[in-house]
Amino acid sequence: MSMSIWIVTILLIVTLVLLITEKLPVDLTAIGITVALILVGILTPLEAVSGFASPAVITVAAMFMVSQGMIKTGAVGFIGQKVIALSRGNSKLAMLVIMLIVGVSSAFINNTPVVVLFIPIVLSLSCELSFSPSKFLIPVSYASILAGTSTLIGTSTNIIVSDYSASRGYGALGMFELAPIGVPIALLGIVFLLFAAPLLMPSHRSPVCELKEGGRRRYLAEFSVPRESLLIGQAADRAFVDKHPSLEVLELIRYSHIYYPDRDAVVIAPDDLLLVKGSANELVDILHAEGVELPLAEKDMVLGSGENASIVIELIIPPQSTLVGRRLVESRLQHDPDVHIIAIQRSGLHYTEKNVQDIRLRNGDILLIWCPESKLEKLRPETDLIIVEDVHHEIVHKRKARMAFMIFSGLVITASAGLADIMVCALAAVFLMITTGCLQLRDAYRTLQANVLLLIVGTIALGKAMEKTGASQHYAEVFLSFFTNSDPVMVLAGVILLTSISTQLLSNNATAILMLPIAISSAEALGVDPKAFIIGVCFGASACYGTPIGYQTNLLVYSPGGYRFSDYLKLGMPLNLIVLVLGTLFIPILWPF
């Protein structure tokens, strides 16, 4: 290999390590890639920053805004809630309706706000219909990803692939060009999820359901177990059964790790924390009789009725929250006299008040807080937080829903008919959304996910360096050496498989940009039309079902569902296999070599 290929390879490895481990924020890693490629002389400054002028980046940014306009006007949520109302009383029918709505919505707008919208709806329905939300939160995330591959604008990955394909002379993707394979994969995947999820997913109860249950108010409380407690040595799930059969022990926290008594056989030990739910009388009674204490943060909590009565609720940090990346001590929640933060839950870990202030918040973190009930109405309009017990009925500008839907329909029809480029259509839709009042300008700016856009720019620069130095050609030759004397169909299967494996660890956008040069070079070396390989990368990069870090909606449902890493594999591996098999069989038919 030449020196330039060695340099690019080293930079690629360093980039992959940083993106996987997240030792640095992904946007900072992207900036570092760009600077490094300039300093080593691989790219000129103009080449390195050319990604900022990429139609893909501009289109993705515009679609973030359009998606927000559809959500803010209630164009998605209103329809969703009305249809869900028809399925009350049947949990399977309710979840089928939810996954279909999530799928159809995600085929046309950004996946993340759709999943954000439906998380509290699932949690609320789990209380009303008596099913475990952990049975269906991963399926909601997967349904959004599955359907997102059906259209050009369903996911930013397809837009990036389309732009790259056009720049290499192989033509952009049509609005519904992926649908002949994407729709069958999505439908088959949703059917699989509907039947497999109840069997394979854990069965955790939702800590926070409705504030009132049949007129009898129930509360969440966190109790500590002192060393002299009579509860020590008892099974967590049976500790209060004799005297308080309706009191539920939802979680046991020990040394920052969370155990679920309905799943984990665990006995109570000194200094454990118990997250329990029950009536005010039950909680007060066990405080006096069962040898437990309230942690320091809850000493002044008032249980009972009245405007100043305390309630304990959970708040989820969504990906677009301005709190992501900030220390809790710097947030306005920490300084709000009406809000008392009890703990933070993150991916199976539990942080309490001793170290909670120094934690930097991440997507999917859950804040357990107590506050006066009167504070709840002030928290509902917050876009930085999702109230777990809420059902997102506080959607603003509903009178603009019809206008937003018309603007969005115009975008889809115009782009599909080829009357204008997708970037122009998306920008025009943003302009109309803002000028008609469907979307406030400040909300439009806030919805831009700068880390995603910078990551795309940085990986575009790295992809350009791979092409310029011949690294992508070299990687393709190494890749093809594993498929000696194989036909193009087998090589295509290898490309889809490699892309799918990579996207479990990297973002789907980064995976697509890094794999496209290798896929195209492999096709050219075989002497076949690269379009089938480009489509293969599209589906492989979106097949991020095996890990919680594969896609941000997977991470978003991690804590609310109380999932383990292995839970994603149970449903994710079959879905990845569906994508691999159907892609390998039908891509060569629809896009012949």
- What is the C-alpha separation between 423 and 94, in angstroms, rounded? 36
Please name the residues in contact with 95: beta carbons below 8 A apart, sequence gap of 6 or more: 122, 136, 139, 194
Average pLDDT, the chain: 81
Please name the residues in contact with 584: beta carbons below 8 A apart, sequence gap of 6 or more: 489, 492, 493, 496
- What is the C-alpha separation between 56 and 453, in angstroms, rounded? 10
pLDDT of residue 219: 63
pLDDT tens digits, one per residue of 247-287: 888 888 888 788 888 778 899 999 888 888 777 677 767 77
Q: Tell me how crowded residue 184 is: count the other CB atoms within 10 A of its CB.
A: 14
pLDDT of residue 143: 94
Q: What is the mean pLDDT of residues 21-41?
A: 86
- pTM score, whole prediction: 0.73
Q: Tell me how crowded residue 307 is: count the other CB atoms within 10 A of its CB.
A: 8
Q: Which residues on neighbouring strands pair with residue 370, listed in sequence order?
A: 312, 340
The reply to whether domains 210-294 and 311-387 share a CATH topology is yes
Instruction: Write down the architecture of domain 311-387 according to CATH.
Output: 2-Layer Sandwich (3.30)
SS3 306: coil
pLDDT tens digits, one per residue of 44-84: 999 898 888 888 888 888 888 888 788 777 766 665 566 56
Contact of 590 with 180, CB cutoff 8 Å: yes
Phi, then psi, of 275 in degrees rounded to 5: -95, 110
How is domain 210-294 classified at the CATH fold level? Alpha-Beta Plaits (3.30.70)
Please name the residues in contact with 65: beta carbons below 8 A apart, sequence gap of 6 or more: 430, 433, 439, 444, 447, 448
pLDDT tens digits, one per residue of 115-173: 877 887 787 777 667 778 888 899 999 999 999 999 998 888 999 899 889 988 898 99
Task: Enumerate the domain spans of the chain.
Answer: 3-203+403-590, 210-294, 311-387
Higher pLDDT among residues 385 and 428, named by residue: 428
Residue type, 79: I
pLDDT of residue 391: 44
Q: How confident is the model at residue 577 (pLDDT cuts 50, 70, 90)?
A: very high
pLDDT of residue 337: 79
Tokens 């329909």 correspond to 409
Least confident of 334-348, 391-405, 566-580: 391-405
Contact of 342 with 252, CB cutoff 8 Å: no
Q: What is the mean pLDDT of residues 442-451?
A: 78
pLDDT tens digits, one per residue of 186-227: 999 999 999 999 999 988 766 655 444 444 556 667 788 888
C-alpha distances in angstroms, 290 versus 230, 255, 336?
Answer: 7, 22, 33
Structure tokens at 579: 């994508």
- What is the C-alpha separation between 216 and 64, in angstroms, rounded? 42
Q: What is the mean pLDDT of residues 444-459?
A: 81
C-alpha distances in angstroms, 533 versus 204, 364, 515?
Answer: 42, 34, 10
SS3 383: coil
SS3 144: helix
